[in-house]
Structure 1
Amino acid sequence: MRLRLCTFNIENLFLRHDFDAFSDRGDERYLDPVALFYAPYGNGDLSKFEQFKRTVETAAIAQADDFRQHTALAMIAADADVYCLQEVDNFTALQRFLRAYYTKAGGDSLPHRVLQEGNDFRGIDVAALGARNYPFYARSHATLTPAWLDDEPTGEALLAQYDAARVLAGKMRGKRIFRRDCLEIVLDMRGTPVTVFNCHFKSMGSGEDKGHAMRQLEALTVREIINRKFPDPAQALWAVVGDLNDAQEHIFVSRTEGRPETIRDYAPSGNRTGSGVDPLLDGGFGINLAQSLDPIDRWSQFYANGPTKSQLDYIIASPALAEMVSEAPRFIREGQPYRVPNTDDINRYPRVGWDRPKASDHCPLVVAFDIPRGPVA
């Protein structure tokens, strides 16, 4: 049975505008571009703030229409049976997006839907969608703390392998590990269960070393969830997908026109060693399916200040599931803005702009598997 699996950070699918960012410079980057353009409002005259809010909300709604049409087109291009999404405001936002954009753009029915509220301070969550013949059941791991890792010797042994994560876990204790959630969904593929863990790890917005340790802790916690679920993880059918917000290598883009792009491994800095996703890959535990692509084609996001292209979005499969790949993984880039260098060969969707509108600041990643009937040996 075919399983076409897609992960997609659809970038701030909100039903609201967060005006708190005007009073917090650290969160200012989350404001809509139109809000940044209008700020500061009224020269500090608070009596004009309500009028200012209405202006910004009207402009943001107009911007969002093209944005979400492109998001829907990128999902349809993936032609997936199961979608794992990140940065969804709430279940109502997901329902409205599917009805107002995805379905109207010609998307197939996705009747199986789940979103559970996670830990993100902005209220963005992970969600999963399944086509008609792909029902699933789901559970959240949002409440796990470092104490859970200490419950079993395997968790303690795993922590001991990653110093940055171990030190951070010692400081956190009762605090929750996942910045959003690790949403586990289990699909019944004609009697063969396939488990997918949809994650959105800590962003790179704060200090690099601290963020690295947090992502490393999240990754090893996902690994430990898998260890406890499956007697033999290598032979089980599972995948970890999502925006893991870390890379194993960067594609550096020269600011000089005509110069080739170059690839560099992540260099250690400060307390940072390797990548935050390493616990899911070390020792062949999981397989980054995008590794089958040419290194220059593995990026899922462009960071202009680098300028770099990096793979932040992953489908990491168990060795057994990786053997069942039936179609090469593909990053869908037709919704990327024109400012991304060296992408003249990509046919963009109508009205994609230089910086916006766009489908998202991330590219969807899709991989197809051929799952056999019945229990896997």
Structure 2
Amino acid sequence: MTKFRLCSFNIENLFTRFDFSAFSDPRAAAYLSPIVQFYGNFGDGDLTKFEEFKRFVQTAAISQDDDKRQHTALAIAEADAHVYCLQEVDGFDALVRFIEAYVKKTMGERFHNRVLHEGNDMRGIDVAAISVRNVPFYSRSHAWLTGSVIDDTESGQALLDQFPLAKARARQLRSQRVFRRDCLELEVIVGENKVSLFNCHFKSMGGRDPERSLATRQTEAILVRELITRKFADPAAALWAICGDLNDALEFRFVSSVENDDGSFTESPRGTPPSGEDGSALEVFLSDGFAVNLLDTLPEDERYTHYFAGGRSKTQLDYILASPALAGRVRGAPEVIRAGMPHRVPNLATPRYPRIGWDRPKASDHCPVVVEFDI
């Protein structure tokens, strides 16, 4: 048997650029550093000041991001994995710079295998992967796949019939790309075996049309399942996992805003998200046992990987969904690394990394998920 540690981690906006369109696009403005939002937009009409303002914005962003990336690197080091499936990476150059400037200082010269294929995201955030020297992989992008890939197969049609929203969305996307970012397929060499990983970052919840966003995620999920079904004659017996930020959940834990006498807050499970969506893309993978959510072995209040302060909800958005065969090879308990979360997350007594703030800096707005296997 060979020990194999796998980590999935949304490292939140690993950019090596600044998008000044945020000052004219209200939706893009949400991604500005908070200190920049505090000082406001450039809008007094004096264009001679704009270059000076740009330098100020870049300085503020660089200063804030340096702390953040040190915390991200600490979370990666704590995971101590062989393969990392990463989300929200600006590009291959950004990935390499991050490894050289930050990760190398916490883990040394360890990650010799690195990959990123440019995907479909309008903001330019991609999925990527890195691995240690003795665990190489082959990679394949599926960013180009359209809805016709689902609609033209018997198994795809059967899934679409189960999910009417996805059926309508897949036909809208028949000649368009389905994945909002990519589904990065990795074939990882573990000893004398191969493990297939499908690294995804699905469409976010909510927005102006929650039903449409749910339909998009369900379509993405069906396409991922189709890729696995086509790859393996017996998917249940094969070694594969779906990793990533799937931006979806089957349960949500809402935290009361009323503080108890002991300083804690009461948490209660609810079935619907703050965004109001009725349904989940995860049902595509989990409803019939096609895949296993490996964090289900943890207590319910320990499965969350994300805290949404606006809705005071703790949610698992980040997953390692394994085939039944791979799930049977899990070694010990899965881990959710929370030492990089901001102090505003309620009911979390985990010691934080040095200089973690109330809201920022932090390692990410998501937690790394780590699972160890015997392969």
TM-score greater than 0.5 by the shorter chain: yes
- 1:159 aligns with 160
Aligned equivalents of 2:47, 2:166: Cα separation in 1:
44
- 1:335 aligns with 340
Kept in 2, the 8 Å contact 1:247–1:266? The answer is: no
- 1:97 aligns with 98
AA matched with 1:54 = R
For structure 2, the 5+ residue unaligned runs are: none
- 1:375 aligns with none
Aligned equivalents of 2:136, 2:309: Cα separation in 1:
39
Aligned pairs (5 A) from 1:214-363: 214-258=216-260, 259-266=265-272, 272-343=277-348, 345-363=349-367
AA matched with 1:23 = S
Aligned equivalents of 1:268, 1:103: Cα separation in 2:
39
| Structure 1 residue 105: Cα displacement | 2.0
Kept in 1, the 8 Å contact 2:144–2:177? The answer is: yes
- The Cα offsets for residues 200-241 of structure 1, whole Å up to 9 and x where unpaired, read as 001125232111111111011101110111011100100000
Question: TM-score, structure 2 length as denominator?
Answer: 0.95
Aligned equivalents of 1:275, 1:203: Cα separation in 2:
12
- 1:88 aligns with 89
- The Cα offsets for residues 328-359 of structure 1, whole Å up to 9 and x where unpaired, read as 1111000000011111x211000000111000
- The Cα offsets for residues 46-103 of structure 1, whole Å up to 9 and x where unpaired, read as 3322211110001111111110000000000001000000000011111111111011
Aligned equivalents of 2:126, 2:273: Cα separation in 1:
31
- 2:149 aligns with 148
| Structure 1 residue 327: Cα displacement | 2.2
AA matched with 1:62 = S
Aligned equivalents of 1:312, 1:268: Cα separation in 2:
14
AA matched with 1:355 = D
Which stretch shows the higher mean deviation, 187-196 or 175-184? 187-196
Aligned equivalents of 1:98, 1:340: Cα separation in 2:
28
Kept in 2, the 8 Å contact 1:301–1:311? The answer is: yes
Secondary structure of residue in 2 paired with 1:256: strand
Secondary structure of residue in 2 paired with 1:228: helix
Secondary structure of residue in 2 paired with 1:328: coil
Secondary structure of residue in 2 paired with 1:94: helix
- The Cα offsets for residues 148-201 of structure 1, whole Å up to 9 and x where unpaired, read as 112321111111111111111122221100000000000122222110000000
- The Cα offsets for residues 357-377 of structure 1, whole Å up to 9 and x where unpaired, read as 000000000000000xxxxxx
- 1:374 aligns with none
Question: TM-score, structure 1 length as denominator?
Answer: 0.95
AA matched with 1:265 = G
Aligned equivalents of 1:368, 1:44: Cα separation in 2:
57
| Structure 1 residue 277: Cα displacement | 1.7
Aligned equivalents of 2:14, 2:239: Cα separation in 1:
30
For structure 1, the 5+ residue unaligned runs are: 372-377
AA matched with 1:193 = K
